[in-house]
Amino acid sequence: MADHSGIEWTEATWNPTTGCDRISDGCDHCYALTLARRLKAMGSAKYQNDGDPRTSGPGFGVTVHPDVLAVPRRWREPRLIFVNSMSDLFHARVPVAFIRAVFEVMADTPQHTFQVLTKRSRRLARLAGDLDWPSNVWMGVTVENAAAAHRVDDLVPVPAAVRFLSCEPLLGPLPGLDLTGVHWVIAGGESGPRHRPVEQAWVSGLRDTCLDAGTPFFFKQWGGSTPKAAGRLLEGRTWDEMPRIYSPAA
């Protein structure tokens, strides 16, 4: 839980669940898995549940935390909040009743804007019709390469006020990406000691697709050994566009 976040496209994080499992190429060098291992070693109570070593790791077993559901209620000032930076709300081991409880908290705190991101787009699509979607909830899917582009099809019918794509880590080009029904695109290169390089043509191509579609584009980082190693400039400028319905708090 963080009242402030270093992630460029959000302001705070809220983790009512922790832990996850690798399911696609973008998971291979998961920052959250590495951080969970460190937090377990430090004795953090939320990270003592180990995951399957084949797909997860120490401290990264999927765990729900009812005791932190109320955290956004205590934040009086409006915040842009990334939900589950250390997990995936639509993981199969997160009970539907708990997902509904998270949505109830988001509905009850309209001063905040919540950003929910998943790689489990099929479960999202199955459950979307049974959830209430308040206007302060944005829903996104990760699309790290062309093999993950099918997640867009699952996202578009979801009745969220903002539907967005996180193309991070961007691991390949996304030619022909259809942004119909998508309100925002984030892109970024991978960071860390084993980072996979991102090619400028992939980022420029995605930016151009957004320009053609009139979809706001946010370029987070080139990545490298550290997140800020290569900066954020794309062809001489930063791209910090946000969904058109979003107005930062004064």
Q: What single string gives the DSSP state of each residue in 85-147?
A: TTB-TT-TTS-HHHHHHHHHHHHH-TTSEEEEEES-HHHHHHHGGGS---TTEEEEEE--SGG
CA distance 122 to 128: 10
Is 49 in contact with 61 (CB distance < 8 Å)?
A: yes
pLDDT for res 245 = 80
CA distance 74 to 20: 27
CA distance 80 to 245: 13
Helix (H) or strand (E) holding 40: helix 31-41
Per-residue 3-state assignment (H helix, E strand, C coil) for 53-81:
CCCCCCCCCCEECHHHCCHHHHCCCCCEE
pLDDT for res 1 = 55
Is 83 in contact with 116 (CB distance < 8 Å)?
A: yes
- Residue 246: what residue type? Y
User: 77-219 adopts what CATH topology?
Assistant: pyruvate-formate lyase- activating enzyme (3.80.30)
In degrees rounded to 5, what are phi and psi of residue 2?
-145, 125
Provide the residue-wise pLDDT of the chain in tens; the chain has 250 residues. 566 788 999 999 999 999 999 999 999 999 999 999 999 999 999 999 999 999 999 999 999 999 999 999 999 999 999 999 999 999 999 999 999 999 999 999 999 999 999 999 999 999 999 999 999 999 999 999 999 999 999 999 999 999 999 999 999 999 999 999 999 999 999 999 999 999 999 999 999 999 999 999 999 999 999 988 899 999 999 999 999 886 665 4
CA distance 236 to 220: 14
Query: For the chain, how many residues are written?
Result: 250
**What is the pTM for the complete model shown?**
0.96
Sorted by sequence, the CB contacts under 8 Å of residue 212 that are 6+ apart come out as none
pLDDT for res 250 = 43
CA distance 167 to 172: 10
- Residue 78: what residue type? P
In degrees rounded to 5, what are phi and psi of residue 13?
-125, 150
- Residue 68: what residue type? V
Per-residue CA distances from 15 to 1, 22, 64 (Å): 6, 18, 9
pLDDT for res 167 = 98
In degrees rounded to 5, what are phi and psi of residue 31?
-65, -35
Delimit the domains of the chain by residue range: 77-219
pLDDT in tens, 137-155: 999 999 999 999 999 999 9
List the 217-219 sheet strands across, edge first: 12-14, 80-83, 113-118, 137-142, 162-167, 184-187, 217-219
